[in-house]
Every structure is written in C-alpha cells, then in structure tokens.
Copies of this chain bind each other. A is one copy, B any other.
C-alpha cells in the first residue's frame, strides 16, 4: 500500500524552558519539530519545510532523519541564527511568560517546498505568519486531500487580513479556546466554531489544554479528553504534538471522514499526553508504538460507557 505524503511547514527552533520542576538551556523545539515527531509515529512519508541558522546542530537534523522525516526542505542560512524562544511557566503550568523571542532567520523566511513533496496528500501548516502559510499552499499545484492550519492570537492582532485569506484555503483549523473566542468574537465555543467555519475551514478543532479538545463539523461535535496525569512536567509543544498526531493518523489511514477524525483527535490527545512528561522533545524522541497503544486503552476506559439507548 502506498504511504501518504505529509508535508509539514513550521518553525524548527531552539527553546529555553523554565517550569516549576527545572530549567533547560537551549534545546530543540519548534512547531514543525513537534508535529513531525508526532506524525512519525504513523506510517507516512513526511517532510519539514522550515529555516534554521548554521548554529543548528547537525545532530538534531540527523535525529529527525532517523525518524524518516525528510529535512531537505529545512533551509540552513549561512551565518544566520536559529529562531529562539525562552519562556517560563507559572506554578499551575496553565500560563507562561515569554521572556525572549529572537526571530533571527525566521524574520526573512521564504519557504521552499521540495520537488518530491509538491504532490503531497496531506499538508500541515504549523503556526507561522499567515503569508508564509499561504506561500506554501501556492507552491503545491495539486490540492492536497486535506489541509490543516494552526495559528495563534499574535497573527489575529498583527496580520488579520492575511489570516482571513489563508483560512479560505484550508479544511481544518486547530486553535486554542481563547484564540477561538478572539477570532470569532463569541464566548460559547459552539458558536465560536460555527462562526469560524464561515471563514472557510469545514472542520474546527478547539484545543483546551488539560481540558481536552473539541472537534466541530457542521452540527456534529466530538470531544477528546486530555488524559488526567499525576504530573505535567513541561507543556511546551503539546498543541503541536496534538496536531501532528491528528494529521499523522489521518495520513496513515487516508480516511478523512468525521468518524475517522474522532479517532484522529484521540490519537492527538494520546500523543500530547506523552509530550508533556519530559522537557521539550525528549519524550517524543524515544516514544514507542506499544506505549501509545497501551495508553489508548486508558482513553477508552476514561470515556466509554454502556448506557443502552432504546
């Protein structure tokens, strides 16, 4: 059976993270990195389009390659410095302060889709300037089977028109609850999703962090809980890991029905529950398929009930 081609666009970056449990120096981060590592859990051919400086360790590139992620679309800018984010989480881990955002080479990022991924079946547009996301869509001549976009409040505040334009071109928007409220002007998430669907996306996924995620499509709603954990160590990358698990599962199964998207958000939530167990990408790098499978059983136990409907 032919494997789907999944193209991922987003940041590949350095993060420095402080949580109540410890702190890191510059470690591997970035939306595309987390998406790629999550999607790598499924049998798909994936590639990342991004940009780094020549300060980016080749060891990180090799790690991504070892997960069968094509990195030929990651431009390495000579003399440039890699995007760097430094943040500190509050005690409840639900909020954080950004201490440093050095765009560096990301400021002039012109994405270039590798020739062998111009016919991608699935396209994941990670959180980036909407014009960059649009540039990628325009480089893909054949409409992919599914286009998923992630964004954030920063672009609503600074690139509203470009964001609205790119929303017309996509199938699925993933966004967190506060951002959904800002984008729609509606407090109720049900109404927010209805309003957002009018911008273009047929499917809206609202991520609520520790409170799970909601999938909306026409009148249908599905809810994937977050797995209740004894300890959340570092939430960085959980949303991107969720998106990577979502699109990775869909790309593997090649079934984009609403019923199968239910499974996809469960897989997304499943993978995100691992991501938060260690700093940065560390848990995702050594995650085994059996572990995911075992945790899936916990998701079933957590949500499945047996009331007879007659």
Residues of A within 8 A of B (CB): 91-92, 187-191, 208, 211-212, 214, 220-223, 225, 228-232, 259, 262-263, 266-267, 293, 296-297, 300-307, 309
Residues on the B chain within 8 Å of A230, using CB: 188, 190-191
Instruction: Check A188–B231 contact: CB distance below 8 A.
Output: yes
Shortest 10 CB-CB contacts between residues of A and residues of B: A211-B211, A262-B305, A190-B230, A223-B225, A303-B303, A263-B307, A190-B228, A223-B302, A188-B230, A221-B228
Cα-based distance from A72 to B123 in the complex (angstroms): 66
Cα-based distance from A259 to B200 in the complex (angstroms): 42
A267 nearest CB neighbor, chain B only: B307
Highest count of chain B CB atoms <10 Å: which of A189, A212, A301, A307 = A307
Contact (A188, B232) CB under 8 Å given A211-B211, A225-B225? yes
Instruction: Check B223–A228 contact: CB distance below 8 A.
Output: yes
Instruction: Check A188–B302 contact: CB distance below 8 A.
Output: no
Show 5 A/B contacts (Cβ-Cβ < 8 Å), sorted by A.
A190-B228, A191-B230, A214-B228, A263-B306, A266-B307
A270 nearest CB neighbor, chain B only: B307
A92 nearest CB neighbor, chain B only: B187
State the number of copies, please: 2
Residues on the B chain within 8 Å of A303, using CB: 222-223, 303-305
Min CB gap A100→B, angstroms: 27
The 8 Å CB contact of A266, one of B211, B231, B301, B305, is B305
The 8 Å CB contact of A229, one of B190, B220, B306, is B190
Min CB gap A276→B, angstroms: 12
Residues on the B chain within 8 Å of A267, using CB: 307
Contact (A187, B91) CB under 8 Å given A221-B302, A222-B302? yes
A206 nearest CB neighbor, chain B only: B228
Cα-based distance from A266 to B263 in the complex (angstroms): 21
A232 nearest CB neighbor, chain B only: B188
Min CB gap A287→B, angstroms: 18
The 8 Å CB contact of A188, one of B229, B262, B300, B304, is B229
Min CB gap A146→B, angstroms: 19
